[in-house]
Amino acid sequence: MNKNSNAYTFIFAIIIVTIIAGLLAFTATSLKPLQDTNVKAEKMQNILGTIGITDVSREEAEAEFNKYIKEQLALKSDGSVDASAKAFNIGLKNEVKKDVDQQRYPLYIAEKDGQTFYVVPLYGAGLWDAIWGYIALASDKNTIVGANFDHKGETPGLGAEITTDWFQAQFTGKKILDESNNFVSVTAVKGGAKAGDDHGVDAISGGTITSNGVSDMIDERLSHYLPYFKNN
């Protein structure tokens, strides 16, 4: 074949692209088990972090998770448990697209130092993309003992501040029920929460929409757990 012809150029390009695509596909397939393991370990680390179990390496994550997490429940909208579903495998990204009564709500029940904690996974929308996280409640199912949040595409220095310690630490000690045991959740307040406000935290300056997204996410997700909390 004439190496200077267009046909040769096209055939050569097709062969090279095919080889590269095959190598990339092989690499992606080979690395997927490792990626899945890392994602699983990170999820366990985040859940444990809400109850104060930090500095856990990815290699230690599963053992520590099994040590402290005593129950994993998949709840229905009425608060009953769906024994056929595995909480850890529920992906909220797809779950939230379903009707409320078709969703399953994962709940992790932990025990630490003789106390019981309830860890609720969160998923919502920020300014640019999805935000998510976990929030842990004390045995009274009212007082927050820890929270962590993450995002896909929020602005560094603004909405991305939801991942920082200063923002997340504000939630510790806040309450989701008022004095009459009505659900009021916790809200990120623009301009700052008032001193002594059990239901408010300081919003992120310049990150109002993401802060509101966190508030909406907590309110919407926690509301689905009220039937279970009331029945148990």
Q: Containing H/E element for 230?
A: helix 226-231
pLDDT for the residue 23: 84
Phi, then psi, of 52 in degrees rounded to 5: 85, 10
| Burial track 148-158 (b if 16+ CB lie within 10 A, e otherwise) | bbbbeebbeeb
21 three-class SS: helix
pLDDT for the residue 26: 78
pLDDT for the residue 2: 65
User: In Å, how far are 77, 105, 138, 153 from 229, measured between CA atoms?
Assistant: 12, 13, 12, 33
Query: For residues 68 and 66, what is the distance between their CA atoms, to the nearest angstrom?
Result: 6
73-97 residue pLDDT tens: 999 999 999 999 999 999 999 999 9
Q: What is the CA radius of gyration of the chain?
A: 22
Q: Tokens 């402290």 map to which residue?
A: 68
pLDDT for the residue 184: 97
Low-confidence ranges of the chain (pLDDT < 50): none
pLDDT for the residue 1: 62
pLDDT for the residue 154: 94
Closest CA to 51 of 143, 124, 125: 143
pLDDT for the residue 149: 97
What counts of helices (H) and strands (E) characterise the chain? 6, 7
User: In Å, how far are 98, 141, 220 from 75, measured between CA atoms?
Assistant: 14, 16, 15
What end-to-end distance do the CA atoms of the chain give, in Å? 78
CB of 171 closer than 8 Å to CB of 154? no
* 128 burial level (CB within 10 Å; 0-12, 13-18, 19+): middle
Domain ranges of the chain: 72-231
Closest CA to 110 of 189, 47, 197, 36: 47
The total number of residues written for the chain in this structure: 232
24-34 residue pLDDT tens: 887 777 767 77
pLDDT for the residue 3: 66
